[in-house]
C-alpha cells in the first residue's frame, strides 16, 4: 500500500506542548491532525518541559532556520537542596545539602551574577555531538567528556516566588542557553545545590505562549487549519518571503 503523503498546507502553529512528549512526537501529532505533507519545529523542548513549541508546515518550514537565533523565555522551577546528573527532575541525585536554606537576599545577590553575558559548560545530557555521537549517549554509558564553555546572554532573570525548597524564576536568554545548567550553577553558588523540577517555555522571539493552543485542544478541532498563522500574517522580523 502506498504511503499517504498528506496535503500541501502552509502556516505556523503555536503549540503548547504537554509534559511527557518529545517535541517531535507533539509535532507529528499536530501534523497528522492537519494531514500536512511537510512539517518541522523551531527548537526542541525536553519531554519533561512544557510550553511554546512553534510548529511550521509547508513553506512555513522556512521559519525553522530563521528562528534558530531567536531569544527565548522560560518559567523555571528550581528545587533547592539536590543536584541531579541530568540537571532536572528526570535524573539521579548526585549531590545533596538540605542544611543550607538560602535567604531571599542571598538568592537576589547570586542572580545578579548571571545577568548579561556569561559562560556555560554544556551539560552531558544534551544533543551536542562528540565524534558524531550525542553527548547524552555518552552520559547514559557513564562517560563524562570535557566540554568547552560557551558564551550565552541572560537578558533578564525575574524572581517570581521563593518558598524553600522551591524557587521560581522567569528567564529571558539568548540561543544556546541551557536552563538546566543555569539552575545547577545557581544552586552551587548558593551552596545548597539545585535542579530543575519544571520548565515552561513562554516565548520564542516575537511569539508568546498566550497565543498558543494546547495539543489536546488542537486535536479536537474540526477545522485545524484555522488555528494556523498564515505566512502573510507572521511578524515582519521573522523574515519569511511568501513569493
Q: What ranges do the domains of the chain cover?
A: 11-69+205-238, 72-202
**What does pLDDT average to in each consecutive run of 10 residues of the chain (243 residues)?**
72 97 95 95 92 95 85 98 94 94 97 96 72 72 77 97 98 95 96 97 97 97 96 82 56
Q: Which CATH superfamily hosts domain 72-202?
A: Pseudouridine synthase (3.30.2350.10)
pTM for the complete prediction?
0.91
The secondary structure of residue 8, as a DSSP letter, is -
- Catalytic (active-site) positions: 46
Give the list of residues 6+ apart from residue 149 with CB closer than 8 angstroms, or none.
119, 120, 121
Q: Which residue has the cell 570535557?
A: 146
Alpha helices (runs of H) in the chain, residue ranges in sequence order: 23-34, 62-66, 104-113, 135-140, 179-190, 215-219
Q: What is the CATH number of domain 11-69+205-238?
A: 3.30.2350.10
Report pLDDT for 2.
Answer: 43
Quote the distance between the C-alpha of residue 191 and its chain's center.
Answer: 26
C-beta separation of 115 from 157 below 8 A: yes
Report pLDDT for 240.
Answer: 64
Q: Which helix (H) or strand (E) holds 151?
A: strand 150-163
Domains 11-69+205-238 and 72-202 share a fold: yes
Amino acid at each position: 500500500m502506498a504511503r499517504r503523503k498528506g496535503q500541501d498546507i502552509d502556516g505556523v502553529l503555536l503549540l503548547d506542548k504537554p509534559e511527557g512528549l518529545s517535541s517531535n512526537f507533539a509535532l507529528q501529532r499536530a501534523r497528522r491532525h492537519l494531514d500536512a505533507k511537510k512539517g518541522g519545529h523551531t527548537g526542541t523542548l525536553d519531554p519533561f518541559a512544557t510550553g511554546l513549541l512553534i510548529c511550521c508546515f509547508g513553506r512555513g518550514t522556512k521559519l525553522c532556520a530563521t528562528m534558530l537565533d531567536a531569544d527565548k523565555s522560560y518559567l523555571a522551577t528550581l528545587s533547592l537542596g539536590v543536584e541531579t546528573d541530568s540537571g532536572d527532575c528526570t535524573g539521579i541525585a548526585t549531590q545533596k545539602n538540605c542544611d543550607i536554606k538560602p535567604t531571599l537576599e542571598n538568592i537576589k545577590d547570586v542572580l545578579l551574577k548571571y545577568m548579561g553575558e556569561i559562560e556555560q559548560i554544556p551539560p552531558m545530557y544534551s544533543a551536542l555531538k562528540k565524534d558524531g555521537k550525542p553527548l547524552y549517549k555518552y552520559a547514559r554509558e557513564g562517560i563524562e567528556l570535557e566540554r568547552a564553555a560557551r558564551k550565552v546572554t541572560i537578558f533578564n532573570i525575574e524572581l517570581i516566588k521563593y518558598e524553600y525548597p522551591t524557587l521560581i524564576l522567569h528567564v529571558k536568554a539568548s540561543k544556546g542557553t541551557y536552563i538546566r545548567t543555569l539552575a545547577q550553577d545557581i544552586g552551587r553558588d548558593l551552596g545548597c545545590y539545585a535542579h530543575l523540577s519544571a520548565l515552561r517555555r513562554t516565548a520564542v522571539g516575537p511569539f508568546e505562549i498566550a497565543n498558543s493552543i494546547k495539543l489536546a485542544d488542537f486535536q479536537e478541532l474540526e477545522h485545524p487549519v484555522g488555528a494556523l498563522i498564515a505566512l502573510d500574517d507572521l511578524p515582519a522580523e521573522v523574515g519569511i518571503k511568501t513569493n
